[in-house]
Amino acid sequence: MDRKDKIKMFLTDPRRLLSLYHFFGEKVNSQIGEWRGPPEGTHVMDKDWDSLLILDGCRYDLFERVNTIDGLLESRTSLGSYSGGFLQQNFRDQAFHDTIYVTANPYSHEIEPDTFHATINVLEERWDAELGTVPPEEMADAVREAHETYPNKRLIGHFMQPHVPFIGPTGQDLPQGGIGPDRVDSDDSDDSPPDIWRQLQFRLTDVDHKTVLKAYEENLEIVLEEIRPLLNDLDGKTVISSDHGNLLGEWIGPFPAKGFGHPPRTYAENLITVPWLEIPAQNRREIRSDAPVTNDQIDDEVVEQRLKDLGYA
């Protein structure tokens, strides 16, 4: 569909014109958020844990409904409404040389190389081209290996689920980018389906909210299934949290509009309210700080492609 056809599509469908209003409102709220700055929230490195497992894009209410892992569950306010903001606000211009950061998130390239004792980026070696993401089982294995290699360090594992693409049975049937064996590789082609949240926002798909929500829940179930056995391999105190939530079409402010996905600097309640599940531990890890040893650097072209695959760009 060329640009002329897209314009015609919007002009002939009043519902899509209304979607443009909400999209404009999203941009206004993002600008207001940039002026005001992030809210008072949780600085994760100041909290008490030995391992922090970050779920990407997980709403608190979704986690509360789906999770079956035992622990003390509370809500926390994230410092970012998207991964880049979360990473900047928690790690920028600081040094945590007692910590290993294992990540499947492409925004990790914005972190300074010597921020952690070691940064292990799995975006290349553990990327699944068919699914268009790093599967949770691959991330779990990378976290295990990191803990075995650095047993006296705090450990952060940044999983990509429940963030899109949806990799469960419901999700793989959806017309989303970066998913399925027949997908078109993410590029600037009009043949690549847009992010599923944009499809809902602009009514570009016949898929309803209920189906998308089911796929979203499946993604969380899948990653939690991998985290449950991982907990047995991590000594010390583990916390499961998220970098940000996700909007599902609810009204947000201060400019009244319906929000979808996780736009930057948009500090709506369901976008910055995240789970904080503390897993009981009898023994604690002996943590020590040492000079940085290694940091995986990902090629800029790979980062850009991964951002597209995951719907960020």
Looking at residue 17, what is its pLDDT? Answer: 76
Compute the 3-state secondary structure of the chain and give helix, strand, coil in percent, each to the nearest 5. 35, 20, 45
Looking at residue 208, what is its pLDDT? Answer: 86
How far apart are the C-alpha atoms of 26 and 122, rounded to whole Å? 32
pLDDT, averaged in runs of 10, over the chain (313 residues) = 59 71 91 92 97 98 97 98 96 96 91 92 91 95 97 98 95 68 40 76 82 95 98 97 96 94 94 96 93 72 63 59
Which of these, 149, 139, 141, lies nearest to 103 by C-alpha position?
139
Looking at residue 207, what is its pLDDT? Answer: 80
* Contact between 164 and 141 (Cβ < 8 Å): no
What's the predicted TM-score (pTM) here? 0.88
Looking at residue 185, what is its pLDDT? Answer: 39
CATH number for the domain harbouring residue 300? 3.40.720
Looking at residue 178, what is its pLDDT? Answer: 44
Looking at residue 298, what is its pLDDT? Answer: 62
| Number of alpha carbons in the 13 Å side-chain half-sphere of residue 96 | 20
Task: Report the number of distinct structural domains present in the chain.
Answer: 1
Burial class (CB in 10 A: 0-12, 13-18, 19+), 7: exposed
How far apart are the C-alpha atoms of 202 and 14, rounded to whole Å? 11
Looking at residue 12, what is its pLDDT? Answer: 64
Q: CA angle at residue 257 from 251 to 262, to 5 degrees?
A: 75
* Contact between 222 and 67 (Cβ < 8 Å): no
* Contact between 240 and 230 (Cβ < 8 Å): no
299 backbone φψ class: left, alpha, beta (φ>0; ψ -120 to 50) = beta
Looking at residue 187, what is its pLDDT? Answer: 42
How far apart are the C-alpha atoms of 87 and 108, rounded to whole Å? 7
> Distance from CA of residue 167 to its chain's centroid?
14
Looking at residue 276, what is its pLDDT? Answer: 98
Range(s) of the domain holding residue 289: 3-309
H or E element at residue 188 = none
